[in-house]
């Protein structure tokens, strides 16, 4: 990456860590915005748009090889208007151009490099382009020369192609609003069966190498298993959790999980750590704990959150975005160990215990591909030995402490310290869930401080003229002006989670404000569904309703489930109607390719069953309320909501009589409630009582 001593381009004034990494390039980069587009029109030049993120390994590679090259920079500056985009700050821009590259090449990834006409219509794109011709692919400079030649000699053909490709792109990503509402059980059953068909029974997970956690898939399978009584699905999820927890994709010294593994065994990771992965994996391991009762699953969740609290949290409580795969120009250098290094650090007895536990060998299990001096003999830590003899446990803990101390002195990977509303909402919900399920007060503190940070730095409260505004990004005192569905939907979910964990009515009031603002800014009352960007977002080729649940669940899926839950808590049928209309919009996708929308399946699963309501009446701060909440959260029941009798709750809940001495729980389904109870065992039995397995037909 570029050094601070080099001449800086206009990206030097941008807050994005990714854009700042390119501020020393010889390329005359522009940020996405008015200046770049006006310049392209005035100079009659095509646009070169390069999209990535600050912890992306191959983005670093292409920068070193290409964007730091003086000849490439000079050529781009002469013939193109070049734009750098941080995909994490502008997922709406990334979505359009990634869809274009996937449509035209069959693949995608980052860095994402696309060429556009001055009116923003794409005509060519790809991912990583090599500096020299190889494997039948031209060098990047040769590609640039070819595009310049076409721009000069066949401009009309190129523009016509861009118009045609834009029309095809619009057809591909615009949904039909006239779908019938999904019938329900058939789609849910088909989705579960499809996922189970992709399950790897040996290594866990779904599909082959490279293997991504994609937590939406196992989270849905747990709901599928409960609805259809499928023990095989439960075992698939628990196997996946156990294999991931044992693999090198998990940081066994520092906590947290890497982005993905390059192999099918979860052994060798791509070492970057993303906040959104760790938030979703926390939720997955918490639900696995509820289903299995095995403390090892709870410990993985604790391990993730303590890593986030230690290494990924702003002093005021916001959560940072990611840690890089690379340090000192080498991928994995911070995390890996050689046999010689460990044998020199530990006593012979301690080394033998560590080597057996983590599979340490002289050859190693990870090959560093950096040039010109690749590192050799590197070991990624993974749990090769499942159990450690009682006599060796103390020695193992001492050894791990020594290894952590040594690792703390290494050059740490780059930290992307921007704070995003969407990913903070995910981690907020994970912290709230951990407090609710495990009872650890440290996680409530982590959640409450995070929410206070978001409300202070990213939220503008409602006024008589507005519903309230949630900004997407904050960094070093500056926030952006971008409005994105993902921020509202994920934060709404996290706030609902925190409300259900605490019954603090102020959290429910904030959730209502967020839901109203989200509906006003993004909901399409005519066609259904939610737009990814606000209506006033400039410079977008088209507005998109995202449905794909990839590394992150789509904003439409998250918004739908959040509104269904909040509707049941607050008795707001308008929110339920919006969620159902959204599911109807994506009915064809739910029916034909359910495996690509697993979180939307979670929303459909909730929509098709009347949720059980646990209404806890009494002082939300008192110990008896906390005790009842612990019992209500101690059962895996995805079709339930938990609410108090204070704040903007269902008016019926506000009328339920209280007990002056202790809190009471009313257990309700539909309009019927059981007699109130003070007994946590009664609450658990109510939630455990499931209907017989449902037939999909």
Query: pLDDT digit string (tens) for 396-422?
Result: 999 999 999 999 999 999 999 999 999
DSSP 596: G
Q: What is the pLDDT of residue 6?
A: 56
User: In the structure encoding, which two tokens stand for residue 452, read together?
Assistant: 């206070």
Of 668, 251, 638, the C-alpha closest to 433 is 638
For the stretch 591-620, what's the b/e string if a residue is b when 16 or more beta carbons lie within 10 angstroms of its beta carbon?
beebbbbbbbbbbbbbbbeebbbbbbbbeb
pLDDT digits over 287-319, tens only?
999 999 999 999 999 999 999 999 999 999 999
Provide the pLDDT for residue 136.
75
CATH class of 419-609: mainly alpha
Length in residues, the chain: 697
Looking at residue 5, its pLDDT comes to 41
Task: Give the Å distances, CA to CA, from 673 to 379, 457, 465.
Answer: 58, 41, 40
Rg of the chain over all Cα atoms, to the nearest angstrom = 26
Please provide the CATH number assigned to the domain covering 10-173: 3.40.30.10
Q: Which of 563, 534, 417 is nearest to 471 (CA)?
A: 534
Strand pairing category for 81-86 and 30-31: parallel
Counting as low any pLDDT under 70, the low residues of the chain are: 1-6, 176, 179, 370-372
Residue 43: half-sphere exposure toward Cβ, Cα within 13 Å: 15
For residues 543-568, one letter each, b for 16 or more C-beta atoms within 10 angstroms of the residue's C-beta and e for the rest, the string is: bbbbbbbebbbbbbbbbbbbbbbbbb
Place of tokens 């999820």: 237
- Give the model's pLDDT for residue 99: 95
Strands (E), 570-658: 612-617, 640-643
Kindly compute the dihedral angle of the four CA atoms of residues 138, 141, 147, 150, in this order, to the nearest 10 degrees: -90
Q: In the chain, where are the structural domains located?
A: 10-173, 186-416, 419-609, 610-697
> Rounded to an integer, what is the distance from CA 183 to the centroid of its chain?
29
Question: How far apart are alpha carbons 675 and 426 in whole angstroms?
Answer: 36
Q: What is the pLDDT of residue 427?
A: 98
C-alpha 452/C-alpha 449 separation (Å) is 5
CB 644 within 8 A of CB 616: yes
- Respond yes or no on whether the N-terminal peptide bond of residue 584 is cis (omega within 30° of 0): no
* pLDDT recorded at residue 370: 64
Q: What is the pLDDT of residue 329?
A: 84
pTM of the model: 0.95
Residue 371: what pLDDT?
Answer: 60
Residue (of 128, 109, 68) closest to 210 by Cα position: 109
- Spatial distance between the Cα atoms of 113 and 147, rounded to a whole number of angstroms: 13
Which residue, 216, 220, 204, 308, is CA-closest to 256?
A: 308
For residue 519 the two structure tokens come to 């509906």
pLDDT of residue 372: 65
Q: How many CB atoms lie within 10 A of CB 681?
A: 9
Burial class (CB in 10 A: 0-12, 13-18, 19+), 153: exposed
Give yes or no for a contact between 537 and 482, defined as CB atoms under 8 angstroms apart: yes
**E strand or H helix at 291:** helix 275-292
Alpha-carbon gap, residue 113 to 108, rounded angstroms: 10
Instruction: State the Cα angle at 144 between 138 and 145, rounded to 5°.
Output: 90
**What is the 8-class DSSP label of residue 358?**
H
CA distances in angstroms from 54 to 186, 293, 406, listed in the order given? 42, 39, 26
**Strand boundaries in 336-444, DSSP class E:** 415-416, 419-420
CB-based contact 479:471 (threshold 8 Å): yes
Asked whether the beta carbons of 451 and 495 are under 8 A apart, the reply is yes
- 3-class DSSP string for 124-153: EEECCCCCCCECCECCHHHHHHHHHHHHHH
CATH entry 3.40.30 includes domain 610-697: yes
pLDDT at 660: 80
Within this chain, domains 419-609 and 610-697 share the same CATH topology? no
């Amino acid at each position: 990456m570029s050094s601070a001593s080099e001449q800086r381009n206009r990206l030097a004034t941008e807050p994005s860590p990714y854009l700042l990494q390119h501020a020393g390039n010889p390329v005359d980069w522009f940020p996405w915005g008015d200046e770049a587009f006006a310049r392209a029109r005035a100079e009659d030049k095509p646009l070169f748009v390069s999209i990535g993120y600050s912890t992306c390994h191959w983005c670093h590679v292409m920068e070193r090889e290409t964007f730091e090259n003086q000849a490439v920079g000079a050529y781009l500056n002469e013939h193109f208007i070049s734009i750098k985009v941080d995909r994490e700050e502008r997922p709406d821009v990334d979505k359009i151009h990634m869809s274009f590259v996937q449509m035209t090449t069959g693949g995608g990834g980052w860095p994402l490099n696309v060429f556009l006409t001055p009116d923003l219509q794409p005509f060519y794109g790809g991912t990583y382009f090599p500096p020299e011709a190889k494997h039948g692919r031209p060098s990047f400079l040769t590609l640039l020369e070819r595009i310049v030649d076409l721009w000069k000699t066949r401009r009309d053909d190129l523009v016509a192609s861009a118009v045609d490709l834009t029309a095809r792109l619009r057809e591909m990503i615009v949904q039909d609003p006239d779908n019938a509402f999904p019938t329900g059980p058939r789609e849910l059953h088909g989705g579960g069966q499809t996922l189970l068909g992709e399950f790897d029974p040996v290594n866990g997970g779904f599909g082959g190498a490279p293997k991504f956690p994609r937590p939406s898939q196992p989270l849905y399978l747990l709901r599928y298993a409960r609805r259809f009584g499928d023990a095989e699905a439960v075992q698939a999820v628990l196997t996946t959790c156990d294999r991931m927890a044992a693999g090198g994709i998990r940081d066994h010294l520092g906590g947290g999980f890497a982005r993905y593994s390059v192999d099918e065994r979860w052994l060798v990771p791509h070492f970057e750590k993303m906040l959104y992965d760790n938030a979703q994996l926390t939720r997955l391991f918490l639900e696995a704990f509820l289903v299995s009762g095995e403390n090892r699953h709870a410990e993985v969740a604790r391990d993730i959150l303590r890593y986030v609290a230690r290494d990924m949290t702003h002093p005021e409580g916001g959560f940072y975005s990611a840690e890089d795969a690379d340090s000192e120009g080498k991928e994995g250098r911070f995390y890996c160990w050689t046999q010689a290094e460990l044998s020199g650090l530990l006593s012979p007895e301690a080394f033998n215990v560590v080597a057996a536990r983590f599979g340490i060998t002289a050859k190693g299990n990870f090959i560093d591909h950096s040039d010109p001096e690749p590192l050799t003999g590197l070991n990624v830590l993974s749990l090769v030995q499942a159990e450690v003899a009682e006599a060796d446990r103390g020695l193992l803990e001492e050894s791990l402490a020594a290894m952590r101390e040594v690792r703390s002195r290494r050059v740490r990977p780059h930290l992307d310290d921007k704070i995003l509303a969407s990913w903070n909402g995910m981690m907020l919900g994970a912290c709230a869930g951990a407090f609710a399920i495990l009872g650890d007060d440290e996680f409530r503190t982590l959640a409450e401080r995070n929410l206070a940070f978001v409300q202070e730095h990213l939220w503008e409260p409602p006024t008589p003229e507005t519903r309230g505004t949630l900004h997407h990004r904050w960094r070093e005192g500056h926030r952006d002006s971008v409005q994105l569905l993902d921020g509202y939907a994920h934060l709404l979910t996290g706030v609902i989670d925190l409300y259900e964990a605490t019954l603090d009515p102020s959290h429910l009031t904030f959730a209502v404000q967020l839901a109203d603002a989200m509906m006003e800014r993004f909901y399409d009352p005519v066609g259904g569904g939610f737009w990814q960007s606000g209506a006033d977002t400039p410079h977008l080729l088209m507005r998109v309703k995202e449905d794909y649940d990839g590394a992150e669940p789509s904003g439409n899926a998250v918004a739908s489930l959040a509104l269904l839950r909040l509707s049941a808590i607050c008795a707001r049928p308008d929110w339920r109607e919006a969620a159902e209309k959204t599911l109807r919009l994506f009915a064809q996708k739910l029916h034909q390719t359910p495996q690509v929308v697993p979180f939307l399946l979670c929303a459909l699963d909730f929509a098709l069953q009347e949720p059980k309501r646990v209404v806890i009446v009494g002082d939300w701060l008192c110990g008896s309320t906390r005790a009842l909440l612990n019992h209500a959260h101690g059962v895996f029941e995805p079709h339930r909501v938990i609410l108090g009798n204070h704040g903007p709750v269902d008016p019926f809940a506000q009328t339920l009589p209280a007990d002056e001495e202790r809190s009471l729980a009313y257990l309700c389904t539909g309009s019927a409630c059981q007699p109130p109870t003070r007994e946590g065992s009664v609450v658990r039995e109510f939630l455990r009582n499931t209907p017989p397995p449902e037939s999909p037909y």
